[in-house]
């Protein structure tokens, strides 16, 4: 199903029948992707005495409680409320859901014993392109990312100057296949988060960071139309389902 979309001054043609899902699903399993030292997510039927809310146990419905942390258990989108004293909700501040995006692939480089993504790497990958959203895939890129246990592993992260560069370039939505844009243990400096959301200046309330995505190797680097789908949680972060559509020239 082809659709022609007027986006700013461009007419884009996309095939709605060929979505590219770059989210990681949430499962009630120890093999579910996990970070930040929390237990695995749980999906359990409601119980009332001997009554169990599953059809297989005699109920007429399946009726589950779900226990999870959006930051730790899968693809999630967050707003500046993640790091501010004042409460900001992703549901209240993300008001548009379609963006012109660029998928880039980066091999983190070594710096002081860490694996990092630098401004120079981002500059080289983006060039002079203007995009609302940047989708960063790191390599190596294997399916192990779907079940990675990131706690205490010091994963790669984005350097502060790279986050400033993205902000100054006008990127509103940053998507990355890591548990955080910042170092796992950084004494709560959160340098990349603060730089991207400009917490020392005018807050970028409409800017978002989406973490723990997975971009399959079959998705080529380049320009895409992004549908950033979120669950309507009044919280700093929410589970999300970013979908890419290849632009047909």
* Measured CA distances, 173 to 45, 80, 90, 104, 226 (Å): 36, 12, 12, 14, 10
Question: What is the distance between the terminal CA atoms of the chain, rounded to a whole angstrom?
Answer: 15
Q: pLDDT digit string (tens) for 124-163? A: 999 999 999 999 999 999 999 999 999 999 999 999 999 9
Q: Element (H or E) spanning 44, and its range?
A: strand 42-45
Q: Which residues pair with 11 in a beta bridge?
A: 6
Mapped onto helix, strand or coil, the DSSP state of residue 10 is strand
Confidence of residue 178 (pLDDT cuts 50, 70, 90): very high
What does the pLDDT read at residue 8?
A: 87
Token pair, residue 146, equals 């779907």
Is the predicted pLDDT of residue 249 greater than 80, yes or no? no
83, 193 contact by CB (below 8 A): yes
- Give the domain ranges of the chain: 2-26+70-248
190, 200 contact by CB (below 8 A): no
Q: Where are the beta strands (DSSP E) in 95-214?
A: 98-106, 109-111, 114-117, 133-138, 157-158, 173-176, 208-211
What does the pLDDT read at residue 171?
A: 98
- Architecture of 2-26+70-248 per CATH? 3-Layer(bba) Sandwich (3.50)
Q: Tell me how crowded residue 234 is: count the other CB atoms within 10 A of its CB.
A: 10
- The mean of the pLDDT values for the chain is 97
Confidence of residue 34 (pLDDT cuts 50, 70, 90): very high
- Average pLDDT, integer, range 1-25: 93
* Measured CA distances, 180 to 19, 56, 142, 174 (Å): 25, 39, 18, 11
- Average pLDDT, integer, range 53-68: 97
- Average pLDDT, integer, range 190-218: 98
What does the pLDDT read at residue 155?
A: 98
Token pair, residue 137, equals 């895939």
Q: pLDDT digit string (tens) for 4-15? A: 989 888 899 999
């Amino acid at each position: 199903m082809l659709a022609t979309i007027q986006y700013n001054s461009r007419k884009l043609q996309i095939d709605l029948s060929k979505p590219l899902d770059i989210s990681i699903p949430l499962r009630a399993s120890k093999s579910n992707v996990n970070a930040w030292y929390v237990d695995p997510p749980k999906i359990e039927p409601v119980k009332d005495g001997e009554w169990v809310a599953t059809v297989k146990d005699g109920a007429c419905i399946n009726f589950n409680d779900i226990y999870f942390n959006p930051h730790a258990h899968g693809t999630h989108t967050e707003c500046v409320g993640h790091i501010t004293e004042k409460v900001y909700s992703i549901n209240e501040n993300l008001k548009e859901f379609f963006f012109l995006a660029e998928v880039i692939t980066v091999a983190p480089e070594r710096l002081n014993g860490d694996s990092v993504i630098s401004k120079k790497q981002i500059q080289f990958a983006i060039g002079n392109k203007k995009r609302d959203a940047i989708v960063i895939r790191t390599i190596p890129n294997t399916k192990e990312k779907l079940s990675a246990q990131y706690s205490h592993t010091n994963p790669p992260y984005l350097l502060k100057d790279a986050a400033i560069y993205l902000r100054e370039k006008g990127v509103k939505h940053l998507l990355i296949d890591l548990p955080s844009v910042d170092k796992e243990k950084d004494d709560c400096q959160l340098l990349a988060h603060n730089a991207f959301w400009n917490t020392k200046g005018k807050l970028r309330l409409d800017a978002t960071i989406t973490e723990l995505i997975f971009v399959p190797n079959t998705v080529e680097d380049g320009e895409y139309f992004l549908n950033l789908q979120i669950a309507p949680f009044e919280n700093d972060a929410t589970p999300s389902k970013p979908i890419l559509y290849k632009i047909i020239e």
